[in-house]
Structure 1
Amino acid sequence: MSEAIAQFLEQFPVLGLPVHVFDDYSGWLLSRLHQNIGSHVVTLNAEMVMQAEQNPTLANIIQQAELVIPDGAGVVLYLRLQGRRLRRCPGIELAEALLRQAGQLGKSCPVFFYGGAPGVAQTAADVWQQRLEGLAIAGIQHGYVEPDAQPQLQQTLKDLQPRLIFVGLGVPRQELWIAQNRHLVPNAVWIGVGGSLDIWAGVKTRAPAWMADNHLEWLYRLYQEPWRWRRMMALPQFALRALVK
């Protein structure tokens, strides 16, 4: 991949936020890793778009991210209404593609898992280590880090200098945390993976394929996490905004 291609991605706006369009996101990120160019990856969905409307700091982080992928079905449908045809790219699938590439690269591409309840990140890392014998795991940290322990975590990242950093703290916390700390490992790919750690660890499951194919993953997530119903109210708000755009 040429340097020019590695630096530029076409983008389309979704209610003022960018979505980058490319056929091979993981290959693009791998090219940047080879060039020692850091990246913040945002997995954009409708809920995050609506949060960004109320949170200027989050909106600015998304606008400044090197890669914003169309994670949510609502984002894809919005762009299709604007005449832009593109495929959805679930963040968990991009993260898994990056992990497989890291497994092939071995010690030259160590990874760091941060987030989830105590034990979740460790279990997720163990699962991937079993799948990919060549995977180099630089470090693991659950997401319940007290404020006074953050400096130690920051120093650990600075010392280890992992190349891939998966942050599962939920939106918008993970995006804010990445923006605040990515200077510690400037050449890494940082990606907010939300609940992916729970899925890898077997704590939760992904929606069945038929639900994903019919844009109903949000319903399955609500089934697993009924407490999210208030946050899910962002979905009809987003749909209304899309229709009256």
Structure 2
Amino acid sequence: MFEARKQFPVMGLPVHLEDDYDRWLGNRLHEKVGSHVVTLNAEMVMQAESNQALADAIQLAELVIPDGAGVIFYLLLHGKRQQRCPGIELAESLLQQAAALGKSYPVFFYGGKPGVAEEAATAWQQKLPNLAIAGIKDGYLSPEAENELKVTLKTQEPSLILVGLGVPRQELWIAENRYLSPQSTWIGVGGSFDIWAGIKTRAPGWLRDNNLEWLYRLYQEPWRWRRMMALPQFALKAISHRLA
């Protein structure tokens, strides 16, 4: 059930090549085998080049999925045909599986602006009445409140912990604190809370199908253009790696 996953390095970072990420991770969730899930994209790869702590966190994760179009492009250049696995969709699958497993598999929502995680959790509980919510905290906690959160996680040990703090903060926070609840499935969900809460929308299906979801995100958040400069840099490095 938990056999070693195939993986391929993307600029030194592992990407696991699974046919069914949902099933593999769902089995671990069911058996309460601890996992850190990283949703890798080109921007994160470029950040990891200058952030060793982030690179280490990715290396130690039990599952690194190809979330971004850039990662899929890199794999394709190296002859690896892999389907993109959007992190938001994997997180949604885990929520559905947790609800199906019942009240003994509670979920914790942590991150986002005040009120957003609560709205996201409420929206999911309306869709999935059997979903057990272990707790909800926004991402703007005081040091004292964050310490209280850590005590809660250690005491309650939720089965699934969704962390929406953005990259790289969420990956670093999970790597630092996952010992508090070692049997949990931890996944950084970025801005997914905003989408679940109805504050933002995902790209239309035709953009997602053509690996252009990043373009829609730039349309929604034009202030991200500086960060998006990592995409052409990544593409150039990917081509140079292949030629080398």
Q: TM-score range by the shorter chain?
A: over 0.9
User: Structure 1 counterpart of 2:209, which letter?
Assistant: D
- The reply to whether residue 40 of structure 1 matches residue 36 of structure 2 is yes
Deviation at 1:23, TM superposition (A): 1.6
In the alignment, the residues of structure 2 paired with residue 16 and residue 92 of structure 1 have an alpha-carbon distance, to the nearest angstrom, of 24
TM-score by length of 1: 0.96
Q: Which residue of 2 aligns with 1:75?
A: 71
TM-score by length of 2: 0.96
* Secondary structure at 2:183 match in 1: coil
Q: Which residue of 1 aligns with 2:179?
A: 183
Q: Which residue of 2 aligns with 1:10?
A: 6
Deviation at 1:33, TM superposition (A): 2.8
* Secondary structure at 1:8 match in 2: coil
User: Structure 1 counterpart of 2:25, which letter?
Assistant: L
User: Structure 2 counterpart of 1:167, which letter?
Assistant: V
- The reply to whether residue 89 of structure 1 matches residue 91 of structure 2 is no
Q: Which residue of 2 aligns with 1:218?
A: 214
Q: Which residue of 1 aligns with 2:18?
A: 22
Q: Which residue of 1 aligns with 2:62?
A: 66
Q: Which runs of 5+ in 1 are unaligned?
A: none
* Secondary structure at 1:211 match in 2: helix
In the alignment, the residues of structure 1 paired with residue 239 and residue 204 of structure 2 have an alpha-carbon distance, to the nearest angstrom, of 28
Q: Which residue of 1 aligns with 2:113?
A: 117
User: Structure 1 counterpart of 2:233, which letter?
Assistant: Q
Deviation at 1:138, TM superposition (A): 0.6
* Secondary structure at 2:162 match in 1: strand
- The reply to whether residue 146 of structure 1 matches residue 142 of structure 2 is yes
Identity, % of aligned positions: 70
Deviation at 1:154, TM superposition (A): 0.3
Q: How does 1:220-235 map to 2 (within 5 A)?
A: 220-235=216-231
**How many matched pairs?**
241
> RMSD over aligned Cα, in angstroms?
0.9
Deviation at 1:35, TM superposition (A): 3.2
Runs of at least 4 residues off by over 3 Å: none
Deviation at 1:209, TM superposition (A): 1.1
In the alignment, the residues of structure 2 paired with residue 131 and residue 96 of structure 1 have an alpha-carbon distance, to the nearest angstrom, of 11
User: Structure 2 counterpart of 1:77, which letter?
Assistant: F
- The reply to whether residue 55 of structure 1 matches residue 51 of structure 2 is yes
* Secondary structure at 2:103 match in 1: helix
**Quick check: 2:32–2:159 contact (8 Å CA) kept in 1?**
no
User: Structure 2 counterpart of 1:68, which letter?
Assistant: V
User: Structure 2 counterpart of 1:141, which letter?
Assistant: K
User: Structure 2 counterpart of 1:39, which letter?
Assistant: S
Task: Using the TM superposition, name which of 197-206 and 217-226 deviates more.
Answer: 217-226
